[in-house]
Structure 1
Amino acid sequence: MRNAPADPLPLAQALIRCPSVTPADAGALGVLEAALAPLGFTCHRMRFGETENLFARRGTGGPHFCYAGHTDVVPPGGQGWTDDPFAASVRDGVLYGRGACDMKGGIAAFVAGLTDYLAANPNPPGSISLLITGDEEGPAKDGTVRVLDWLAERGEIPDMALVGEPTSRAQLGDIVKVGRRGSMTAWITLFGTQGHSAYPQRADNPIHRLVRVLHRLTAEPIDAGSEFFEPTTLQVTGFDVGNSANNVIPGEARAMLNIRFNDLHTSASLTDRLHAALRAEEARYDMRIDCSGESFLTKPGPFVEALTRAVERQTGQAPALDTGGGTSDARFLARFCPVAELGGVGATMHKADECVPIAELRDLAALYRAVLEESLG
């Protein structure tokens, strides 16, 4: 007789009860390590800066399948919660708590699916690992990116990676993310000459110049999108002159921009575009750029096809391949191996009363078991 499937609920509750708001670990990785060690995983805990990370691997051969995720969560906020956000309450078949959706529930579902997979395949081909970080919701400087450097030095880079972010839109498995747009932010300061507003001929108004720059950048679409990506977008997210006097032309004006870009561009080419718009004003300016990630794409191939088969097996429908949304730690893994994202429905992530139906958690565990079966053969 086949044993009952492993239940992800107890582990999900134990993880939620660790108030691991970035960068605090609050015991979450210890809870996860305690669940993985009895399954035969060799666990490595590593700390970079304030961030605790865990890499756990079972087996040494190939192919090497890696599940990546994070146990850190965003702050719960002060209002809107029916229960304590770290109580992991269950009401009417729904698990509530910060991280239930993003993404402690997903981690628990993977461990449950993994447990069932190993029960049916005690000596699976290749190896399985988990790369779990504590800074995905924060600066993402001392987590996945640092662990990958450590793995590269040891020759343990995976052959494929699945990030368990809650990517499903309306129902479980309807979306597999095979890429993400790049994201960059620009802080621009344009300098003029301060003066009296009654004598504008004696001043050089930087506001007028910066408004023209922003018009050049936003008047026309940057592109129409590409085969796998939606159009690039540029949004003005801040504008300030630091001036409280209505009769003074200020000496400088500042703007902040955020660009989400597809595979037709790089952060370098878009930086050149910004410089060109600013140089057209023939004014002195300063610009600082921060790129949190370039765009990436895992094109349809063996790994994506395995994920598609797993979803079809469990849901009866093929998933859509998508590259929308913000950034994730998949951008770091994409530098080393094929990577995709597949998780639960993300309707309540980062909200008050964040939650996941328990039935969905159990279905996700079954889906992750199917992913392992299809990916490892």
Structure 2
Amino acid sequence: MTNPVDPVALTADLVRCPSVTPTEGGALTILDGLLTGAGFACTRVNRGGIENLFARWGEKNHPRTFGFNGHTDVVPVGDAAAWAHDPFGAEVEDGFMYGRGTTDMKSGVAAFAAAAVDFVTQTPPDGAVVLAITGDEEGDALDGTTALLDWMAQTGEAMSVCLVGEPTCPDTMGEMMKIGRRGSMTTYFTVKGVQGHSAYPHRAKNPVHAMVRLMDRLASHRLDQGTDHFDASTLAIVTIDTGNPATNVIPADCKATVNIRFNDAHTSDGLIAWLDVEARKIEAETGVIITASTKVSGESFLTPPGALSDLVAKAVHGVTGVTPGLSTSGGTSDARFIKNHCPVVEFGLVGRTMHQVDERVEVAQVGQLKTIYSRILRDYFA
């Protein structure tokens, strides 16, 4: 029997790799070596300058294939001088490991990789285990998990279910898992008017007045009151700009951006249609011309509570004594892509310090997380 894989040591090795998106930094190479040595068939799936790793133990496309998904890329450090610890040093102090990616989410990847290696080498299951690890979660996510899923479809690879190891717990280990995510879309408005002297506003068409009127209507509108598993959808105005330095000139155009986080009462197409209706109303009232473009980061989705969420909740409670709440809160994750492939849920560590200066993870929780993932595998294949 091989020695168990230490998830803390593996986390430290991964954190020491400066894998700021889109740089691989050596993190996937470390995992490739570990998994290949344990009998996984590993393939580097690279697209658009992004490196990804697909690893499978067991029969290809087995009807019982448990998948893990995560990412080794991290956000930039920011002001390195503001850190009390080397951002890529994986230094341990007072029970915490410090470094970029310690929480989001190299510890999660280390925990499920360690659990998977130990499981297949010590108690080989009747089935298959897949690890789909990307280097493009913190970026545009165009060539990361989507590239892996595209490659899987082309080569006949599949997962029966998938667990994304993102940090999901707000404050206490075990308190929350994700069974869905809100959709996210960003719309960029441009209002074109007629430039003029601010002392003679009747000779101009003020695009700022029109934009403010439009933004007020959008921000004042209640999209919904929430659904069974989701909070109410939200719309936030994130910028209004004219680039006008003069106080006596009405500008020719004005730009604004809104971000909408929406639940399963909406689709992006429906929201785009609503935004267009409101824009046309303002055009009719003011005589300006309004154009808009929208970037959709993902649609809202839900994995209904059932066998997969029960499996994860049982394992979490068995290790922590805490029964995780089922949540759809937070931003987007790569689960938004996987939900089109197979049922997917998310469970991971406490995420309080992710993306912050002196990001850190409680060392004991990394071991706990490996134990939880090990139980999930054991129970799934039981």
The TM-score normalised by the length of structure 1 is 0.96
Aligned to 1:145: 146
How does 1:346-365 map onto structure 2 within 5 Å? 346-365=351-370
Distance 1:203 1:174 in 2: 57
1:309 Cα deviation after fit = 1.3
| 2:333 pairs with one of 328, 332, 337 | 328
Amino acid of the structure 2 residue aligned with 1:42 = A
**Structure 2 SS opposite 1:139:** coil
Aligned to 1:12: 11
Q: Calculate the aligned-residue CA RMSD, in Å.
A: 1.4
1:206 Cα deviation after fit = 1.2
Contact 1:179 1:323 in 2 (8 A): yes
The structure-2 alpha-carbon separation of the partners of 1:72 and 1:286, relative to structure 1 and needing over 3 Å to count, comes to same
Amino acid of the structure 2 residue aligned with 1:371 = I
Is 1:240 the equivalent of 2:245? no
Query: Structure 1 residues 279-288 or 338-347, which shifts more?
Result: 279-288
**Structure 2 SS opposite 1:280:** helix
How does 1:278-289 map onto structure 2 within 5 Å? 278-281=279-282, 282=284, 283-289=288-294
Is 1:309 the equivalent of 2:309? no
Amino acid of the structure 2 residue aligned with 1:37 = T
1:370 Cα deviation after fit = 1.0
**Structure 2 SS opposite 1:356:** strand
Distance 1:270 1:3 in 2: 54
Structure 1: gaps spanning 5 or more residues: none
Contact 1:182 1:260 in 2 (8 A): yes
**Structure 1 SS opposite 2:147:** helix
| 2:103 pairs with one of 101, 104, 126 | 101
Amino acid of the structure 2 residue aligned with 1:148 = L
1:157 Cα deviation after fit = 2.0
Q: How many equivalent pairs are there? A: 375
The TM-score normalised by the length of structure 2 is 0.95
1:173 Cα deviation after fit = 1.6
Cα displacement string for residues 72-126 of structure 1 (whole angstroms, at most 9, x for unaligned residues): 011111232112111111112221111111111111111222233235412x021
Distance 2:178 2:244 in 1: 45
Distance 1:294 1:155 in 2: 25
Cα displacement string for residues 214-255 of structure 1 (whole angstroms, at most 9, x for unaligned residues): 111111321101000111100000101121111111111111
Aligned to 1:55: 54
Amino acid of the structure 1 residue aligned with 2:266 = H
Aligned to 1:189: 190
Is 1:343 the equivalent of 2:348? yes
Distance 1:38 1:167 in 2: 30
Structure 2: gaps spanning 5 or more residues: none
How does 1:21-170 map onto structure 2 within 5 Å? 21-60=20-59, 61-78=62-79, 79-122=81-124, 124-170=125-171
Distance 1:22 1:322 in 2: 28
Amino acid of the structure 2 residue aligned with 1:212 = R
Contact 2:70 2:164 in 1 (8 A): yes
1:317 Cα deviation after fit = 2.5
Aligned to 1:227: 228
Identity, in percent, stands at 48
Distance 1:3 1:23 in 2: 34
Distance 1:245 1:328 in 2: 43
Cα displacement string for residues 266-308 of structure 1 (whole angstroms, at most 9, x for unaligned residues): 1100001111111112231110100010111100121111111
Amino acid of the structure 2 residue aligned with 1:200 = P
Contact 1:191 1:252 in 2 (8 A): yes
